[in-house]
Structure 1
Amino acid sequence: MADSDLEDWSPEEVKAALDRGEIVLIDVRTPQEFLLERIEGALLAPMADFTATSLPTQTDKRIVLHCGSGVRSKKVGDSCIAAGVAPMAHMAGGFAAWKARKLPYIGTDMATGAPKKVTP
């Protein structure tokens, strides 16, 4: 794969790299989606306000993008590559794939509105 290609990472690859501290995971969903449920440790940079040239260099940690299904993160990743920010990766299948693999995340306790760890 050339540096100009967007890499597809599986949820398992993302979790392992996140656990090892090797990546910065950036969630490109809306703030509302992020507040309801998110991957612990992910940073929020909504697609609507995303500027590829504002990203830090990837000398210490790789950047991996994710969204709800993989569509928005692919678009943002492609725009990063077009802006000369490479290598770039995104989580294939997005947060839906993460949850389908029964990986832990932060959800919302609907009775209280407070965040809670969800370990399926």
Structure 2
Amino acid sequence: MEKLRSLRKQRGYTQEYMSKILSTDVSNYCRKESGDVKIFEDEWEKLAKALDVSVEDIKEERGAQIQHNENSTLNDSASINYNQFCNVPNYLLENQQEYINLLKEQIEVLKEENKRLKSGK
């Protein structure tokens, strides 16, 4: 996702900073930014807001990022086509991802509450 990476660097933001915006870890954000992992609509909106641009200014279609070459390893191909072999409908995957994101947000809230309670405030 060259537009996203380029704009992030122009703004001086680290991948760690951007990962916090999405409530995810740095390695997962790196995979999203490289196009290996899907960026969901709500995540595009969060990223655009953080970068102070419209979603259209940074969003690139994922299909354009998948390049097949003769040097691809079996592992590369397997990760790209994994869902095709499992026959899991996309709406179920998206639903699960939304649920995971919700749980991550709740975890962050609970961590903050835990810190507050431990500090006695």
TM-score when normalising by structure 2: 0.28
Question: 1 or 2, which has the higher strand percentage?
Answer: 1
Q: For the pair shown, which has the larger CA radius of gyration, 1 or 2?
A: 2
Query: Of the two structures, which has the highest relative contact order with CA contacts closer than 8 Å and spacing of 6 or more?
Result: 1
